[in-house]
Chains A and B, each alone.
Chain A
Amino acid sequence: MLTDATADKIRCDACPVMCYIKPGAAGACDRYANHNGELVRVDPHIVLERTVSHGGRLVPFQATGDWDGELVREPSVFVTAIGAGTTYPDYKPAPFIVSSEIDGVDMVTVVTEGIFSYCGVKVKIDTDRYLGPETATVRAQGEAVGHVTTSEYGSQMLSLGGVHHLTGGSKKEGRVTCDALMDLSNCKPVELTIDGGATVVVQAGYPPIVNGVAEERMRVGCGSATIGMFAKQWHGKVDEVVVVDDHITGVLSEHQAGKLLDIPDTGIKMKGRRSTPGRYFQVAEPGTGWGGTMISDPLSVLGPFDPRTARSGMTMLMVSTTGEHSAYYELDETLRPIEKPMPADLRQSVERIQENCEPALCTVLFMGGAGGSLRAGVTDNPVRLTRSVKEALTRVTSGGAPVYVWPGGGITFMVDVTRLPAGAFGYVPTPALVAPIEFTLRLSDYAALGGHMDHVRPLASLKENTEIRQMSPRPPGPRA
């Protein structure tokens, strides 16, 4: 490799064409590229081998020379759409040319296109901490890239990207959105700020970092559910339990589970709005404190105990729905709760709550689609075609990863980005994301229509330098 002193381009000496290659670009052959001033080889098509057992056996693809050239040999082996230079900013999909020797068809030329203007990511953040109000704008580098959408059980949800932010706003908004989507899709960390809410660092497969604090666990359930799950374990060990939760705070003595165990009233007085016995909404404003509320002192959700029922020396456990916060109290002569060291058996129940909380992760689903342009064509026999399309849809994959194809028109699919090989997503300056999408061409309806294409074989540059990658059977992560 020769370097050009006057510019950041390099001159490739891999062949006599001697291309000058700019950073981030590839030479005429698409086999060599300039990666940060370094000449790198980028041409291997990536072939994913998904072993049936999750044990992860790597099958030599060509070293033994026994590859028969089939693209679709078994359902678990196929060529992905991830081609040369996918990681480069100016990735341009080369025509994907396949050749076959199937009866009746000698050659097939295919033009791939996986450029998605209509695309985005759905981010699930396992936390009960308050990230921001529903529909609040989510920003990256100050630009609007999406919004907070309806939360799911134990998780906050963000909807990012989409054609509105990619191409509907300012040029900078589009570029920042595209960058954020690509980074999230390539499993890189992205800092997001929510209007009127928190700053959260999101990275697929890793715990969210909310306002600088890494989340550890999802809640075991809402406060009421937690009472139901642990009432028996608390019975006889403590007079009262309050499970503090942003959604429903539970009170053992009033809760149906407590009643069934004949737990006597304690004269406790909760703030907030009573839903049904022992279940309280809105005991405090949402926040990043106890149980997803803003409180740091749990006693602030309590009013004074009723002196007709309460008695001095009564015991009370207060705990959050993740077990992350907990405190033990005894009522003094004036019926004021005084914090005391927690007895071992109660400490154990708190640890049990923690144990039952799953690790909190960020998960990122890439979602893209193209309405009419991705639909199959029509034939003389639309019913047969419709069937074949449906069959084909079951074989849609993205970078080898299984996808969920949304029912209805077009092909709108979702894929867990942690299941794609590294750097599988690219972009074009439109701006739009380039996502790998494969459609196996073993198409039964071709046979019916004379095509007879039950296999498709790769033609060019597939045999050499083919890289085998293991499909991850489940998302990788720090705990995997």
Chain B
Amino acid sequence: MTDVPDAKPRIRDGMRAALPLAPSPILFGLSYGVLADATGFGAAAAVVMSATTFAGASQFASVSVLDAGGTVAAAVLAAVFLNARYVAISVTISSIFPGGRLRRLVEAQTIVDESWALSGRRGRFEWPILIGSGLVFYVLWVGSTALGTVLGGVLEDPNALGLDAAFAALFLALAVPYLRDPRSRQAAALAAVITLVLTPFAPAGVPIIAASGACLLGLRR
């Protein structure tokens, strides 16, 4: 590596590109830590999950399903279904990874929605931007989760504070960008109906998993 300037970005350019987006993982990480600790998921489990799963919505989903009395299987499936999009995302970006399989497996863990979007913003996916921004998001996410669990310990009765409704608001806000597409709207409406219809009959967590069947609308032409 020489210091000759050229158009090729470096890892530090990716780190710099991530900074304007920093408030988002910090605030999400804090609220994830607070909610996980307050609902009894556990501080250590929350921090380890942030460090391994490193995918916000699915982590909130697991905590919320368990908090609502759902089974382990329902909490796992809800998170796994939410993260299935990472298969598609990682396929779009798979050609930029150098090196052997083990190195690619490790470096692929820097993929989150934000780092993926940043790495493709110049019209083609750039490895240094993905790695640099992904590393920044990772450190912020794990660190703020840890801080959140400390703050969460102060809360006594989280549901009296309306944190259950805060989960719903979070999932809704995350869903909104998808709902601009008509087919996503139809599938989401079907999922809502399935969930409502099954809720009086099925144990907690089961209606959500059954609602995932609505994604089969994607098979329609």
Task: Please determine whether chains A and B interact with each other in the same assembly.
Answer: no
Q: Which residues of B contact A (CB under 8 A)?
A: none
